[in-house]
Protein backbone atom coordinates (compact mmCIF):
# COMPACT_ATOMS: atom_id res chain seq x y z
CA UNK A 1 0.00 0.00 0.00
CA UNK A 2 1.22 3.46 -0.86
CA UNK A 3 1.57 6.00 1.94
CA UNK A 4 -1.26 8.58 1.96
CA UNK A 5 -0.73 12.03 0.47
CA UNK A 6 -2.30 15.42 1.17
CA UNK A 7 -1.68 17.64 -1.88
CA UNK A 8 -1.80 21.40 -1.36
CA UNK A 9 -1.53 23.49 -4.53
CA UNK A 10 -2.01 27.16 -5.17
CA UNK A 11 -0.57 30.38 -6.58
CA UNK A 12 2.49 32.26 -5.32
CA UNK A 13 2.37 33.39 -1.72
CA UNK A 14 -1.04 31.84 -1.05
CA UNK A 15 0.40 30.46 2.18
CA UNK A 16 0.78 26.87 0.95
CA UNK A 17 4.18 26.36 2.54
CA UNK A 18 3.26 27.60 6.01
CA UNK A 19 0.02 25.64 6.00
CA UNK A 20 1.51 22.46 4.55
CA UNK A 21 4.31 22.47 7.13
CA UNK A 22 1.85 22.93 9.95
CA UNK A 23 -0.43 20.15 8.73
CA UNK A 24 2.56 17.82 8.25
CA UNK A 25 3.79 18.46 11.76
CA UNK A 26 0.31 18.04 13.29
CA UNK A 27 0.03 14.63 11.60
CA UNK A 28 3.67 13.60 12.05
CA UNK A 29 3.97 13.26 8.27
CA UNK A 30 6.79 14.01 5.85
CA UNK A 31 6.73 17.32 4.01
CA UNK A 32 7.69 18.12 0.43
CA UNK A 33 8.06 21.71 -0.73
CA UNK A 34 8.18 21.10 -4.47
CA UNK A 35 8.68 24.79 -5.23
CA UNK A 36 12.05 24.60 -3.46
CA UNK A 37 13.17 22.02 -6.04
CA UNK A 38 12.25 24.39 -8.89
CA UNK A 39 14.00 27.23 -7.06
CA UNK A 40 17.14 25.06 -6.67
CA UNK A 41 17.13 24.31 -10.39
CA UNK A 42 16.73 28.05 -11.04
CA UNK A 43 19.66 28.84 -8.75
CA UNK A 44 21.87 26.40 -10.65
CA UNK A 45 20.70 27.82 -13.99
CA UNK A 46 21.48 31.37 -12.82
CA UNK A 47 24.87 30.48 -11.35
CA UNK A 48 26.01 28.40 -14.31
CA UNK A 49 24.27 30.65 -16.83
CA UNK A 50 22.40 27.70 -18.32
CA UNK A 51 19.84 28.73 -20.92
CA UNK A 52 19.01 25.55 -22.78
CA UNK A 53 16.21 23.25 -21.67
CA UNK A 54 18.26 20.06 -22.03
CA UNK A 55 21.19 21.31 -19.98
CA UNK A 56 18.86 22.66 -17.28
CA UNK A 57 17.01 19.33 -17.17
CA UNK A 58 20.31 17.45 -16.88
CA UNK A 59 21.27 19.68 -13.95
CA UNK A 60 17.84 19.09 -12.37
CA UNK A 61 18.17 15.33 -12.67
CA UNK A 62 21.67 15.27 -11.20
CA UNK A 63 21.53 17.92 -8.48
CA UNK A 64 22.54 16.81 -5.01
CA UNK A 65 19.96 18.21 -2.62
CA UNK A 66 18.92 17.56 0.91
CA UNK A 67 16.46 19.11 3.32
CA UNK A 68 17.15 19.29 7.03
CA UNK A 69 14.27 20.97 8.85
CA UNK A 70 14.13 24.49 7.37
CA UNK A 71 17.63 24.24 5.95
CA UNK A 72 18.22 23.37 2.32
CA UNK A 73 21.57 22.16 1.01
CA UNK A 74 22.74 22.08 -2.59
CA UNK A 75 26.02 20.21 -3.17
CA UNK A 76 26.69 20.57 0.58
CA UNK A 77 26.25 24.35 0.51
CA UNK A 78 23.45 25.90 2.58
CA UNK A 79 21.26 27.85 0.17
CA UNK A 80 18.04 28.24 2.20
CA UNK A 81 18.02 32.03 1.92
CA UNK A 82 19.52 32.31 -1.58
CA UNK A 83 16.63 30.44 -3.13
CA UNK A 84 14.05 32.82 -1.58
CA UNK A 85 15.20 35.81 -3.60
CA UNK A 86 12.61 37.06 -6.05
CA UNK A 87 15.04 36.77 -8.99
CA UNK A 88 15.37 33.07 -8.19
CA UNK A 89 11.56 32.77 -7.88
CA UNK A 90 11.15 34.42 -11.25
CA UNK A 91 13.71 32.16 -12.90
CA UNK A 92 12.01 29.19 -11.17
CA UNK A 93 8.75 29.93 -12.92
CA UNK A 94 10.65 30.13 -16.23
CA UNK A 95 12.46 26.79 -15.82
CA UNK A 96 9.20 25.26 -14.53
CA UNK A 97 7.66 25.79 -17.99
CA UNK A 98 10.16 23.38 -19.51
CA UNK A 99 8.69 19.88 -19.95
CA UNK A 100 12.10 18.19 -19.68
CA UNK A 101 12.78 19.92 -16.38
CA UNK A 102 9.40 18.86 -14.96
CA UNK A 103 10.05 15.31 -16.10
CA UNK A 104 13.50 15.33 -14.50
CA UNK A 105 11.96 16.24 -11.13
CA UNK A 106 8.98 13.88 -11.22
CA UNK A 107 10.43 10.72 -9.62
CA UNK A 108 12.47 12.77 -7.14
CA UNK A 109 9.21 14.25 -5.85
CA UNK A 110 7.41 10.90 -5.74
CA UNK A 111 10.23 9.42 -3.65
CA UNK A 112 9.08 11.58 -0.72
CA UNK A 113 5.93 9.48 -0.44
CA UNK A 114 6.95 7.41 2.56
CA UNK A 115 5.06 6.09 5.61
CA UNK A 116 3.34 7.36 7.64
CA UNK A 117 2.34 9.85 4.90
CA UNK A 118 3.26 12.99 2.99
CA UNK A 119 2.01 16.55 2.80
CA UNK A 120 3.20 18.03 -0.51
CA UNK A 121 2.81 21.62 -1.68
CA UNK A 122 3.22 23.14 -5.12
CA UNK A 123 1.35 23.78 -8.34
CA UNK A 124 0.73 20.30 -9.73
CA UNK A 125 0.80 18.01 -6.71
CA UNK A 126 -2.86 17.02 -7.17
CA UNK A 127 -2.90 17.00 -10.97
CA UNK A 128 0.41 15.42 -12.02
CA UNK A 129 2.74 14.28 -9.25
CA UNK A 130 0.22 12.61 -6.90
CA UNK A 131 -3.03 12.34 -8.91
CA UNK A 132 -4.16 9.63 -6.48
CA UNK A 133 -3.65 11.83 -3.38
CA UNK A 134 -6.17 11.07 -0.66
CA UNK A 135 -6.90 14.76 -0.04
CA UNK A 136 -6.47 17.62 -2.51
CA UNK A 137 -6.58 21.25 -1.48
CA UNK A 138 -6.31 24.27 -3.77
CA UNK A 139 -5.35 27.21 -1.61
CA UNK A 140 -5.94 30.72 -2.92
CA UNK A 141 -5.98 34.29 -1.60
CA UNK A 142 -6.58 37.63 -3.27
CA UNK A 143 -3.60 39.16 -5.13
CA UNK A 144 -3.41 42.01 -2.59
CA UNK A 145 -3.29 39.66 0.38
CA UNK A 146 -0.69 37.49 -1.31
CA UNK A 147 1.56 40.47 -2.12
CA UNK A 148 1.32 41.61 1.51
CA UNK A 149 2.14 38.14 2.80
CA UNK A 150 5.16 37.78 0.53
CA UNK A 151 6.37 41.27 1.50
CA UNK A 152 6.16 40.43 5.19
CA UNK A 153 7.85 37.07 4.66
CA UNK A 154 10.81 38.61 2.83
CA UNK A 155 11.26 41.47 5.28
CA UNK A 156 11.23 38.99 8.18
CA UNK A 157 13.99 37.05 6.48
CA UNK A 158 16.02 40.25 6.10
CA UNK A 159 15.58 40.29 2.31
CA UNK A 160 14.88 43.75 0.82
CA UNK A 161 11.47 44.04 -0.84
CA UNK A 162 9.22 46.57 -2.51
CA UNK A 163 5.47 46.03 -2.36
CA UNK A 164 4.60 47.48 -5.77
CA UNK A 165 7.34 45.51 -7.53
CA UNK A 166 6.28 42.36 -5.67
CA UNK A 167 2.66 42.74 -6.77
CA UNK A 168 3.80 43.08 -10.37
CA UNK A 169 6.08 40.05 -10.12
CA UNK A 170 3.36 37.92 -8.53
CA UNK A 171 0.86 38.82 -11.25
CA UNK A 172 3.43 37.96 -13.92
CA UNK A 173 4.29 34.67 -12.24
CA UNK A 174 0.60 33.76 -11.77
CA UNK A 175 -0.03 34.31 -15.46
CA UNK A 176 3.02 32.25 -16.47
CA UNK A 177 2.13 29.39 -14.10
CA UNK A 178 -1.55 29.33 -15.11
CA UNK A 179 -1.02 29.58 -18.86
CA UNK A 180 1.87 27.20 -19.47
CA UNK A 181 1.33 24.15 -21.63
CA UNK A 182 2.57 21.54 -19.12
CA UNK A 183 1.17 21.14 -15.62
CA UNK A 184 -0.51 24.56 -15.50
CA UNK A 185 -1.69 25.89 -12.15
CA UNK A 186 -5.30 24.68 -11.99
CA UNK A 187 -7.31 22.94 -9.30
CA UNK A 188 -7.79 19.21 -9.91
CA UNK A 189 -11.48 18.36 -10.53
CA UNK A 190 -11.55 16.69 -7.11
CA UNK A 191 -9.72 19.49 -5.21
CA UNK A 192 -11.33 21.45 -2.41
CA UNK A 193 -10.81 25.15 -3.15
CA UNK A 194 -10.02 27.15 -0.04
CA UNK A 195 -9.78 30.96 -0.08
CA UNK A 196 -7.52 32.00 2.78
CA UNK A 197 -7.74 35.80 2.27
CA UNK A 198 -9.67 36.32 5.49
CA UNK A 199 -8.51 33.26 7.42
CA UNK A 200 -5.64 32.85 9.87
CA UNK A 201 -2.98 30.19 9.39
CA UNK A 202 -4.50 28.21 12.28
CA UNK A 203 -7.99 28.37 10.78
CA UNK A 204 -6.83 27.14 7.38
CA UNK A 205 -4.73 24.34 8.88
CA UNK A 206 -7.66 23.30 11.09
CA UNK A 207 -10.00 23.09 8.11
CA UNK A 208 -7.58 20.85 6.27
CA UNK A 209 -7.10 18.65 9.33
CA UNK A 210 -10.87 18.38 9.69
CA UNK A 211 -11.25 17.36 6.04
CA UNK A 212 -8.52 14.81 6.58
CA UNK A 213 -10.29 13.33 9.58
CA UNK A 214 -13.64 13.36 7.80
CA UNK A 215 -12.26 11.04 5.11
CA UNK A 216 -10.86 8.70 7.75
CA UNK A 217 -7.25 9.94 7.82
CA UNK A 218 -5.09 9.22 10.84
CA UNK A 219 -3.85 11.82 13.33
Binding site for ligand CDP (CB under 6 A): 12-13, 34-35, 38-39, 89, 92-93, 96, 122-124, 173, 177
3, exposed or middle or buried, with CB in 10 Å at 0-12, 13-18, 19+?
middle
> What value does the CA radius of gyration of the chain take, rounded to a whole number of Å?
16
Residue nearest to ligand CDP (CB): 35
Q: Report which of 191, 195, 204 is spatially closest to residue 5, judged by C-alpha positions.
A: 191
CB of 3 to ligand CDP, least distance (A): 19
CB of 185 to ligand CDP, least distance (A): 7
Q: How far is CA 46 from CA 3, 92, 198, in A?
A: 35, 10, 36
Query: How near is the Cβ of 13 to ligand CDP at its closest, in Å?
Result: 5
Q: Which is nearer to ligand CDP, 25 or 179 (CB)?
A: 179
CA dist., res. 210 & res. 38, Å (int): 30
Q: How far is the CB of 116 from ligand CDP (least distance, A)?
A: 22
The smaller minimum CB distance to ligand CDP, of residues 39 and 136, is found at 39
Q: By C-beta, is 1 or 149 nearer to ligand CDP?
A: 149
Where does 39-148 show beta strands of DSSP type E? 65-68, 71-74, 77-78, 118-122, 135-140
Least Å distance between CB 65 and ligand CDP? 14
d(CA 44, CA 38): 10
CB of 218 to ligand CDP, least distance (A): 25
**Nearer of residues 152 and 219 to ligand CDP, judged by Cβ:** 152
Q: Which of 106, 39, 36, 100 is nearest to 69 (CA)?
A: 36
Query: Of 100 and 124, which CB lies nearer to ligand CDP in the complex structure?
Result: 124
Q: Which is nearer to ligand CDP, 100 or 177 (CB)?
A: 177
Sheet bearing 71-74, strands edge to edge: 65-68, 71-74, 77-78
Amino acid sequence: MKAPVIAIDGPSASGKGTIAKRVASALGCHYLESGALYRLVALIALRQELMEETSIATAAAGMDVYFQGDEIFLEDQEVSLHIRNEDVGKRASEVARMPEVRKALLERQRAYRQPPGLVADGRDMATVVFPDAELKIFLTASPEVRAQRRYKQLIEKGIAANLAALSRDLAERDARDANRAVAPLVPAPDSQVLDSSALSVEAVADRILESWKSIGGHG
